[in-house]
Amino acid sequence: MNSESGKHRVRAKLETRAQELTERLELQSVRSCYICRTCTSSCPVTFIDPRFNPLAILRMVLYGKIEEVLNSDFLWLCTSCYSCQERCPQEIPIADIMTKLKNKAFKLGNAPVGVRAQMDIIKKAGRTYPLDDFDNKKRAKAGLPELPTSCDVVKTLFESETESLK
Amino acid sequence: MKYALFLGCTIPARARNYELSARRVAETLGIELIDVERFVCCGFPIKSSKQFSAELLSAYNLALASEAGLELCTLCSSCTSALTEVAHELGYKDESQLAAVNSHLGPLGIQYSGRVTVRHFARILIEDIGLERIRKSITKDLSGLRVAVHYGCHYLKPSDIYGGFDQPEEPTTLEELVSLTGAEVIDYPGKKKCCGGPVLPVDERVALSLAKEKLDAVHEAGADLLCLVCPFCSVMYDGNQKGIENEFGVNYGLPVLYLTQLLGLAMGLDRKALGLNMNVVKTKDLMKKIPE
């Protein structure tokens, strides 16, 4: 096998893999992008930190670099502000695509620590900021009603979901 | 007028000033807010990690509201978008999705009918109460104040789920509400930009830089205060303002008020009853610009 045909085969394999992933994640709409860059110029994060660039991410998805996106740190810098999605002239649901990519990255174990911690706490307590008796004391002092300090419902919901995915 | 009050996670723990002022303003306007003790997180914070789980949490909350026969009134913009998105999906799209969600709600002995409306408190003020009726409750003239408004993202977006409420590119509802108080609403660059809150657990520097950009602009424009409608935006601008000042060597001292606090002041409600003593950036100097 000469190195040229080897390279060719690797690229073909990458492209097939990218196409498969694109379809499985229902990201086909990225194909209609005509590179106007409205997304990137609307992105408040790109303005602060160019590591995050929505157009670049869409192109990476399209050109077989989806795994690089899923392994990246930059994917998680998206704030889900929807500026890109609202303005895309091709109506590509860019923010929704970022959510799908993040979901996939989370499944692969690539989410930042803070994001994983948020998931764990909600699974356990049903709230991002669990309440305790002290919180309820402060609430009572302010004349606000008492709220539950534990939550079993979330456990049942998550268990039922895990069960159905087996 | 009666609604189920959806507080979410941030408000009961970190924004009791918002909760207090919203309840007081609601009372003043004859809005009845019903507490539903069993509400859980709306799902927004885990949407990026596991969208289906997030949707289940939303659906569970929607089902509770449906069981109580009430519309939902939200105070947090992220809760608003998460709950509205699911209400929209399950209300208008194929029924198989609703059936799938209900199969998961089954073990909890609750089902969702697919028919609950979710609206932010400010939207309810505009749509159900109306500017004229609110104007009649205003007793104090706040014309000494220059106010910058921050819409945030999810109060308006994704716009396709909000049934034509306001305009995401040129919103006006917050200006309309603030103007009722007599205060001057001032413009500033980057008004529609995000507070950065959602990336706080990912990259603090990026999140704080986003918040700083807005604080710079609002400060530069000469605002007396920043007025907003989401507890997490407030965490970024009020709660983290001192941290931003220290981190970046800047100085703002910019009071950040919830819309309900500002309206409450104009309605002549007591400063403490509106939780103004709980705002992180002190509001005492601001009070000097308001008639006794």
Residue A106 and residue A118 in one domain: no
Contacts of B216 in chain A (CB under 8 A): none
How many helical (H) and strand (E) elements, i.e. helices and strands, does chain B have?
13, 8
Q: What is the mean pLDDT of residues B249-266?
A: 98
Q: Is residue A97 one of the residues assigned to a domain?
A: yes
- The 10s digit of each residue's pLDDT in B36-70 is 999 999 999 999 999 999 999 999 999 999 999 99
Nearest-by-CA chain A residue for B210: A48
Does residue B289 sit in helix, strand or coil?
coil
Residues A37 and A55 occupy one common structural domain: yes
CATH of domain B138-287: 3.40.50.11810
Q: In the prediction, which pLDDT does A163 show? A: 57
- On the question of pLDDT at B76 being above 60, the answer is yes
| Residue A29 and residue A64 share a domain | yes
Residues A19 and A75 in one domain: yes
Shared domain for A32 and A94, answered yes or no, is yes
| C-alpha–C-alpha distance, residues B14 and A81, integer Å | 22
Last residue of a domain, one of A110, A133, A148: A110
Contact flag A99-B35 (C-beta cutoff 8 Å): no
Number of domains in chain A: 2
What are the φ and ψ backbone dihedral angles of B93, each rounded to 5 degrees?
-95, -165
Residue B216: pLDDT over 70:
yes
Q: Does A116 sit within 8 Å of B49, measured CB to CB? A: yes
Instruction: Choose the closest CB to B41 out of A80, A114, A126.
Output: A126
- To test the contact with chain A by mutation, choose from B202, B214, B276, B279 the residue with the greatest count of A C-beta atoms within 10 A, namely B202
> What tokens does B192 get?
């529609």
Mean predicted lDDT score pLDDT of chain B: 96
Calculate the average pLDDT of chain A. Answer: 90
User: Chain A: residue nearest B209 by CA?
Assistant: A48
Q: Are residues A93 and A127 in the same domain?
A: no
Q: A124 and A93, same structural domain?
A: no
**pLDDT beyond 50 at A39:** yes
Nearest to B151 by CA among A118, A86, A115: A86
Nearest to B56 by CA among A131, A156, A112, A76: A156
pLDDT tops 70 at residue A162: no
Which structural domain range is residue A79 located in?
Answer: 14-110
How high is the pLDDT of residue B195? 98
DSSP class per residue in A41-73: HH-HHHHH-TT--HHHHHHHHHTT-HHHHHT-S
Question: What pLDDT sits at residue A10?
Answer: 79
pLDDT, one tens digit per residue, over B88-124 is 999 876 788 899 999 999 999 999 988 899 999 999 9
- Measure B127 CA to nearest chain A CA, in Å: 23
Level-2 CATH architecture, domain B2-121:
Up-down Bundle (1.20)
Which residue in the block uniquely carries the two structure tokens 């104009």? B266
* Residue A86 parent element (H or E): helix A83-87
| Averaged pLDDT for residues A48-68 | 94
Domain boundaries, chain B: 2-121, 138-287
Given an 8 Å threshold on Cβ–Cβ distance, is B37 in contact with A81? no
Contacts of A82 (CB under 8 A, 6+ apart): A95, B153, B154, B157, B158, B168
Give contacts of A 3-42 with B, CB under 8 A: none
The reply to whether A28 and A68 lie within a common domain is yes
**Rounded Cα gap, residues B24 and A12, in angstroms:** 64
Same domain, A129 and A84: no
Kindly state the tokens that stand for A120. Answer: 């764990």
